[in-house]
Structure 1
Amino acid sequence: MTIRSTRKPVTFSAPFRLTGFEELLSAGTYVVETDEEVLEGQAHTGFRRIATTMRIRTGATIEHHQIDPRELEAALQRDQDAARDKLISADQLSRQSRRSDNSPPADWRWVPLWVRNTPSHRRS
């Protein structure tokens, strides 16, 4: 049986929770390792996931904890959604503070049109 191991970094911008951990995990970058066994067929080669682990640094040691990859993906999605919502609300607040009652609408299609009528030649 041949096993393929892959590593990828995942980054969280806020503390998060996964099953199997009593406390919140802090924001930061973690290394996720996936082990897959090779399934060789006559026409195709496939891979079946057999383990997914995440490296957690605790003091001077690094621990490998087995995790559910679907739960990790869901936690990453929640983190990205929260970061996007935070960014959108901050952008809306800054727009409201900059906008005055006489300012033009913030719609991107609104373009001021300035026309100056000047004759092409002057008549005396």
Structure 2
Amino acid sequence: MTTRTKRSIAHFATPFSLRGLDGIQPAGDYDIDEDEEMIEGLSWLAYQRVATFIHIPARNSNQRKMQLVAIDYAELATALKKDEETINEHPPAL
């Protein structure tokens, strides 16, 4: 089966938590990897997500120890939406 990994960055403006992570994570930019497999038997090229991973700690952290943790994509999307709503409700003071 043909697989590929899509890489992206998740920006959290506020601390967050996800199942599988130890405690609350600080705000920051986190690298996200999504593993996808090609769907066989179609007349067009299509992939389905089979795993999602987050790199801990955030990109701007001074920690040297890095972890790659499997997470639920839907939970990540929900956490990002909640983060955005929190910022929209309480914009930073100028």
For 1:69, the aligned partner's letter is Y
- Aligned residue pair count: 90
State the SS of the aligned residue for 2:76. helix
State the SS of the aligned residue for 1:32. strand
Measure how far apart 1:45 and its partner are: 2.0
Measure how far apart 1:43 and its partner are: 1.4
Higher relative contact order (CA 8 A, sep 6+): 2
Runs of 4+ in 1 over 2 A off after TM superposition: none
Deviations 1:89-116 (A, max 9, x none): x69xxxxxxxxxxxxxxxxxxxxxxxxx
Distance 1:73 1:42 in 2: 28
Q: TM-score, normalised to structure 1's length?
A: 0.66
Residue 14 of structure 1 is matched in structure 2 by 14
Consecutive unaligned residues of structure 1, counting only runs of 5 or more, are: 92-124
Consecutive unaligned residues of structure 2, counting only runs of 5 or more, are: none
Q: Report % sequence identity.
A: 32
Distance 2:24 2:15 in 1: 6
Deviations 1:28-51 (A, max 9, x none): 000110000111335122212111
* 2:82 counterpart of 1:84: no
Whichever structure has more helix as a proportion of its residues is 1
After superposition, the CA RMSD in angstroms is: 2.0
Residue 4 of structure 1 is matched in structure 2 by 4
Q: TM-score, normalised to structure 2's length?
A: 0.86
Residue 70 of structure 1 is matched in structure 2 by 74
Residue 26 of structure 1 is matched in structure 2 by 26
State the SS of the aligned residue for 1:78. helix
Correspondence 1:44-123 to 2 at 5 A = 44-57=44-57, 59-87=63-91
